[in-house]
Structure 1
């Protein structure tokens, strides 16, 4: 099955996994709708795709806002028609990882981006897909959903587990109406989000991590397989597992008050 003539909406498309997924699917013939918060970054990806012979539309939107999601879908419908594939790739983590000190606003922000936005976009595209008896929703979760720890933090792990549960709900509820719901669970990947960790990994550590194009290939497989096939869950992990004990200890104290326990 190819993506020729299909409309694919991708969130977090300005960099990393979203960018590489958009490029791959555009090469396969899809028209990709690039969604993110930064119009300039989206425009750069759009221009790259067009230079490679593909079709892309760049729309800046805050997918945590219901009104932005409505505006986004209205424009896609007006310019391209129904959405055939939704790829929920946008992600966000907190700066404080330990729930002892995690600010409530950071908790809400992480859940808004990683979970609530997925629900809102899914709700918006379900009429397109269920009305035609075919459609694919792919959500990039994380191995933090099944093995949560201080690397991603309390909020991130909870959100990624929640979105995995939601995708399983979609699979169980709508598969016989033609909806394919797919969860991709990547391990550590060398993406810009690592730069915001309590201890950003060194270059030699990143060399053995996943790359954005590795995860993009997994998403592409799930999307391009025949409609009769659903890859309900895909785990994409680095072959080598690094020692993260130092990272975990540093992460434990990120955001701790000055009078907290000794950092030993």
Structure 2
């Protein structure tokens, strides 16, 4: 099995959730991890933990969806650590309004920008690095919402995650013979901060059987450390137990609706 030792990895959304777990896992394997995110304090906390465990990291404070962010991230990583061998897209955003009937244009664009457009732009900016030795890897955290979109994740989120899954398949079919491994990880419901933006954030007892960020991080580590001759093009990881989401779906149906207007209930 290959490892990430002495390699340079970029992890977006590294300050919390799946990004944080992934960054810690890669650093424990010996890689230099560039921690990318909007907020300095969480990134610096992750960096301190990595250092305490004997690892190495670089903090890059940047909103991946901002204009010109990809170029600035690449410049910062190159200056601090050199060319990149592994790219993990863990930054994500969901809308507070899930129903396609009510979601506003600004909210729709924000979700698409973070979950899809930013993934393309940073991947594009790093493709020369990833292709240079014929053994680069790019991993994107999509979602089971890409396969079964509904009111739980919302219209914008499902569309963005389906789009990024398609984009990763494009990278796979186009660059696999150049040695690039393009991997899509599709998690089911996970106990991460993104749940707090839902119309009805799940209660603590409902989160007990969800995936944990470290579960997804371990799956990412698995596909990243396989021998270069092997690629897991897609990996689905989901909670063993499935909770009843009927209340969430019904609340999400009318969240964001104008006062006095309600959407009719259809079968999911």
How would you bin the TM-score normalised by the shorter chain? over 0.9
Query: SS state of the match for residue 239, structure 1?
Result: coil
1:167 maps to 168
Write the distance in 2 (CA, Å) between the matches of 1:20 and 1:60: 18
Cα distance change of structure 1 residues 257 and 74 upon mapping to structure 2, 3 Å threshold: same
Task: State the Cα distance separating 1:116 from its structure 2 match.
Answer: 0.2
Task: State the Cα distance separating 1:262 from its structure 2 match.
Answer: 7.4
Q: Which runs of 4+ in 1 moved over 6 A?
A: none
The equivalences for 1:49-128 within 5 A come to 49-128=50-129
2:255 maps to 254
Task: State the Cα distance separating 1:101 from its structure 2 match.
Answer: 1.1
TM-score (norm 2): 0.96
1:98-135: CA deviations, max 9, x gaps? 11111000000000000000000110110112222220
2:218 maps to 217
1:49-90: CA deviations, max 9, x gaps? 111111011111111134221111112112211100000010
TM-score (norm 1): 0.98
Write the distance in 2 (CA, Å) between the matches of 1:130 and 1:46: 27
Task: State the Cα distance separating 1:263 from its structure 2 match.
Answer: 8.2
1:14 maps to 15
1:195 maps to 196
Write the distance in 1 (CA, Å) between the matches of 2:27 and 2:98: 36
Query: SS state of the match for residue 184, structure 1?
Result: strand
Query: SS state of the match for residue 132, structure 1?
Result: coil
Aligned partners of 1:22 and 1:32 also within 8 Å: yes
Judge which range, 108-117 or 64-73, deviates more.
64-73
Query: SS state of the match for residue 20, structure 1?
Result: helix
Judge which range, 145-154 or 59-68, deviates more.
59-68
1:240 maps to 241
Task: State the Cα distance separating 1:206 from its structure 2 match.
Answer: 0.5
Give structure 2 stretches of 5+ with no counterpart: none
Task: State the Cα distance separating 1:16 from its structure 2 match.
Answer: 0.7
Write the distance in 2 (CA, Å) between the matches of 1:170 and 1:40: 33
Write the distance in 1 (CA, Å) between the matches of 2:3 and 2:145: 31
Pair 1:30-2:31 in alignment:
yes
Write the distance in 1 (CA, Å) between the matches of 2:264 and 2:133: 57
Judge which range, 70-79 or 100-109, deviates more.
70-79
The equivalences for 1:221-232 within 5 A come to 221-232=222-233
2:150 maps to 149
Query: Aligned residue pairs: how many?
Result: 264
Aligned partners of 1:66 and 1:120 also within 8 Å: no
Give structure 1 stretches of 5+ with no counterpart: none
Cα distance change of structure 1 residues 17 and 262 upon mapping to structure 2, 3 Å threshold: closer
Query: SS state of the match for residue 132, structure 2?
Result: helix
1:212-241: CA deviations, max 9, x gaps? 000000000011111111010000000011
Aligned partners of 1:62 and 1:69 also within 8 Å: no
Write the distance in 1 (CA, Å) between the matches of 2:86 and 2:237: 21
